[in-house]
Amino acid sequence: MEFSADFIRIAAYIGAGLSVGMASISAGVGEGYTAGHATYALMRQPKASDNLVRNMLVSQAVTETGAIFALVVSLLLIFGGFFTAEGGWYKVASLLAAGIAIGFGSIGPGFGSGYTGGQSLKSIGRMPKHSNAIMNNMLIGQALAQTDAIFALVISLLLLYSTPNQPSNVTAGTIIAISMAFLGSGIVIGLGTFGPGIAIGYVAGRTNDMIGRNPRQRGLLTRTMFLGAAVSESTAIYSLVIALLLIFAI
């Protein structure tokens, strides 16, 4: 069968759909979780409504980071001008993998950031006078969780712009092997950031909850949070390394 640029178009459209579709799941749930705990805190501390609403909106904005990354990648897939037959099956695989990478790679960070925000607002409802310290810790924890979404974004952009066009004189076996390497790169970073993103958010959320219960131990709790997040992040770094090897070393 003769290769057609329509195959590349199909792959780009599927990748665009997976990108925003998957990333929006956790972003929506995380933002709703944050808002739910904001209403709980408002009933406990109605006089702190302005502070609580402000913290809620900041948390929701950070939680949506991965979905925004996914939206950008989707627009690039649709309007980026990749639909030329010279790309061949290499481009088919890389465009599909780019959507998988950022779509699945944003799920864990979205859940993690939402949990952190929800626990932080619950903690502020318990100890409103420590809201600044809790909010600072919340933003640090959410930033650590969103690191995994940044890893996924980097791989997506590399798949979009660093994969070569398919040469004309390669065997079918080589075409399949290279195409599967690109696809594997998107899969490994997409799945490999799922657990770490959730885990880091859980660590940060529980830390903020405990700060609201015992603010005097904030230093100890924050140090423990950093240590736990660093260990949790290690597997996402492994996934990033393998994804880069699949793109550039195969």
Looking at this protein, which amino acid is placed at residue 184?
Answer: G
Cα–Cα distance for residue pair 162/247, rounded to 1 Å:
8
Predicted pLDDT of residue 2: 67
- What CA dihedral angle connects 146, 26, 227 and 139, to 10 degrees? 60
B/e letters for 6-32, b = 16+ CB within 10 Å, e = fewer, are ebbbebbbbbbebbbebbbebbebbbe
B/e letters for 52-86, b = 16+ CB within 10 Å, e = fewer, are beebbebbbebbbbbbbbbbbbbebbeeeebbeee
Predicted pLDDT of residue 237: 97
CA 88 from chain centre, in angstroms, equals 29
- Enumerate the H helices of the chain as residue ranges: 5-44, 49-63, 65-79, 88-105, 107-126, 131-161, 172-192, 194-213, 218-248
Looking at this protein, which amino acid is placed at residue 85?
Answer: A
What does the pLDDT profile of the chain (250 residues) look like in tens digits? 468 899 999 999 999 999 999 999 999 999 999 999 999 999 999 988 999 999 999 999 999 999 999 999 999 999 999 898 889 999 999 999 999 999 999 999 999 999 999 999 999 998 888 888 999 999 999 999 999 999 999 999 999 999 999 998 889 999 999 999 999 999 999 999 999 999 999 999 999 999 989 999 989 999 999 999 999 999 999 999 999 999 998 7
**pTM, 2 dp:** 0.94
Joined together, the tokens standing for residue 4 give 């057609």
Residue 244: exposed, middle, or buried by beta-carbon count in 10 A (0-12, 13-18, 19+)?
Answer: middle
CA 174 from chain centre, in angstroms, equals 32
Pick the closest to residue 101 from 199, 247, 233 (CA basis): 247
DSSP H/E element including 217: none
Q: Could you give the domains of the chain? A: 5-248 (1.20.120.610)
Pick the closest to residue 64 from 99, 98, 34, 96 (CA basis): 34
DSSP class of 167? P
Tokens 């949506």 locate to: 64
Cα–Cα distance for residue pair 91/16, rounded to 1 Å:
14
